[in-house]
Amino acid sequence: MIDVLNLALPYFGLIFLGFACGRLQDIPDRGLAWMDFFILYMALPALFYRILAKTPFEQLNNVPFIVTTTLATFLVLAVSFGVAFAIRRDLAQSTMASLAGAYGNIGYMGPGLALATLGAQAAAPVALIFCFETLLFFSLVPFFMAVARPGGKTTGVLALEVARKILLNPLVVATAVGVLSAATHFEPPVALDRLMAFLQSAAAPCALFTLGVTVALRPFTRVPWEVPVLALVKLTVHPAVTLVLLSAFGPFDPNWVATAVLMAALPPALNVFVLARQYDTWVEPASGSVLLGTLVSVATLTTVMWLVQHGGLTQALLR
């Protein structure tokens, strides 16, 4: 268990360092805009491009794994939406709230933790999960928000806006280019590859520290009823559903199963708050869900990591 804690605590430590600095230092949050831009448009795209480009293309062409893991996340998203709508009775707020129960920290924490826990064999499933879950969330959220707030726009205009937001998302673009590079065996010039390696190395530290600062600067006075329920769904139901579906529709490589369950066990992503702020709905609860989910995941996520490292998930698959 000490080895697992040594892997996990540096990631949580960066978040809590950011949170402490945000609480102790009286610095305006305007500076976070440039950090957000750097993370979203520079560091994370470089991270996912290099992961995908260096993964053999035949490993990326695993349709059953893609369908099963994406279905698991979709089912958990639907359950989360049902929980939120039963409480809120509002389509826009319920859409944002549902992300807290299904959208894990697959960009900031996922790759580093999975690679540290399972090694290089986790690269391909991490890349696939990120790619298709990003497509899932960035397709459904704009669609439901457009339905909730049509603003007098026609169906055609709304469809074009949704398509544009999906296709121009920097993470989706980087993922597509990475897959293309893997398929064509393209190797960038050495100087460019080293630049992207620098950016890749900066992705997790900057993102996790920024997550902590962002949560610290947000007003958070109470916990709505749905927040702890959605945190429970995200941290326990999501990995359980993922394991059950992979067991039912398999067999899959045990390392891929372990990676998928580990990714499903991640706490709510900072993007839950980013999207809530973008659409100006469910903002304070989104901040609270990220904070609460991250705190509780210190116990739940490290437990999953321990099971992964000690073969607990493999034994569950064989039963």
pLDDT tens digits for 7-33? Answer: 778 878 888 898 898 888 888 777 787
Q: CA–CA distance from 207 to each of 99, 147, 270 (Å)?
A: 19, 31, 9
Which of the two residues, 7 and 222, has the higher pLDDT score?
Answer: 7
242 has a pLDDT exceeding 70: yes
Rounded distance, CA 262 to CA 8, Å?
Answer: 12
Q: Indicate the pLDDT class of residue 128, thresholds 50, 70 and 90.
A: confident
Q: What mean pLDDT is reported for the chain?
A: 84
pLDDT given for residue 223 in this prediction? 72
Name which of 113, 106, 117 is nearest 44 in CA terms: 106
Name which of 264, 266, 232 is nearest 246 in CA terms: 264
Which percentage of the chain shows pLDDT scores above 90? 28
Rounded distance, CA 225 to CA 201, Å?
Answer: 38
Yes or no: say if 84 and 270 are a contact pair by the CB < 8 Å rule.
no
Which of the two residues, 188 and 270, has the higher pLDDT score?
Answer: 188
Q: What digits encode the pLDDT tens for the residues 65-116?
A: 999 999 999 999 999 999 999 998 889 999 999 999 999 988 778 877 888 8
Q: Which range has highest mean pLDDT (104-108, 252-256, 306-310)? A: 252-256
pLDDT given for residue 100 in this prediction? 93
Residue 50, number of CB atoms within 10 A of its CB: 21
Residue 285, number of CB atoms within 10 A of its CB: 27
89: Cα separation from own chain's centroid: 26
**Rounded average pLDDT over 299-308:** 88
The full set of domain ranges for the chain reads: 2-318
Residue 125, number of CB atoms within 10 A of its CB: 28
CATH 1.20.1530.20 assigned to 2-318: yes
Q: Model-level pTM? A: 0.83
